[in-house]
Structures are given as structure tokens and as C-alpha cells.
Amino acid sequence: DTGVSQNPRHKITKRGQNVTFRCDPISEHNRLYWYRQTLGQGPEFLTYFQNEAQLEKSRLLSDRFSAERPKGSFSTLEIQRTEQGDSAMYLCASSSDRNTEAFFGQGTRLTVV
């Protein structure tokens, strides 16, 4: 296991379409986080899972956004009816119970045209 894996790396979609991103955390990590980063800004928290339970959701996570982690392993982030303002880098991170250090994936760059 080489780290947190995110797919796809890049996604271009038309406004109004739905998109889904996948994150595979480090295998022994039970905590998984989604962040969004726009140009020139630091990442902003979206949501957090401990195992399969979604424990926190940011107010940034509108009704068009949904995240799941059905078996406590990989996670998906879906954006419905995409808008141009959704264009950003979506980052996934994971950590374990033994250590709060967060490890990030390479991100999924979303462009809504």
C-alpha cells in the first residue's frame, strides 16, 4: 500500500451533470476526510468518516454533495447538478487511531464548463 489513492485525477464535466470521485485510504486507516481546495487557498474541510460513520459535515457541503463510505474502506464523493463554482481540487486524506497525522492523496481536479 503506497498511500491514499484518488480517482480520477482529472474530470471535466458540463454544468448540470453529476460526477463521482473515489478515494482509497491507507489500508489500516479508519478515519477518512474530504477537503476542497481552490486556487490560492488552503484546503477547506468538507466531511469526515470514522469507519463507515459520517461524523462531521461542513456547511460547505450543500444538498448537491453526498459522501459515502459503505464498508469503512473506500469512499465516494458525488456532486449532483454541477455548477461552475464547484470547479476545484477535491482532496482525500486518511489517518489512524494510533496517530493523528493526516496523509493526503493526489487529489481530483474538477473543471465544470
Partner 1 sequence: KQEVTQIPAALSVPEGENLVLNCSFTDSAIYNLQWFRQDPGKGLTSLLLIQSSQREQTSGRLNASLDKSSGRSTLYIAASQPGDSATYLCAVGPGYSTLTFGKGTMLLVSP
Residues near partner 1 (CB under 8 A) are: 4, 6, 31, 33, 35, 40-45, 48, 50, 55-56, 58, 91, 93, 95, 97, 99-107, 109
* Residue 79 exposed, middle or buried by CB count within 10 Å (0-12, 13-18, 19+): buried
Q: Is the dihedral of CA 73, 85, 46, 82 positive or negative?
A: negative
Shortest Å, Cβ 107 to partner 1: 5
Q: How far is the CB of 81 from partner 1 (least distance, A)?
A: 26
Q: What residue type is 21 in one-letter code?
A: F
Of 48 and 65, which CB lies nearer to partner 1 in the complex structure? 48
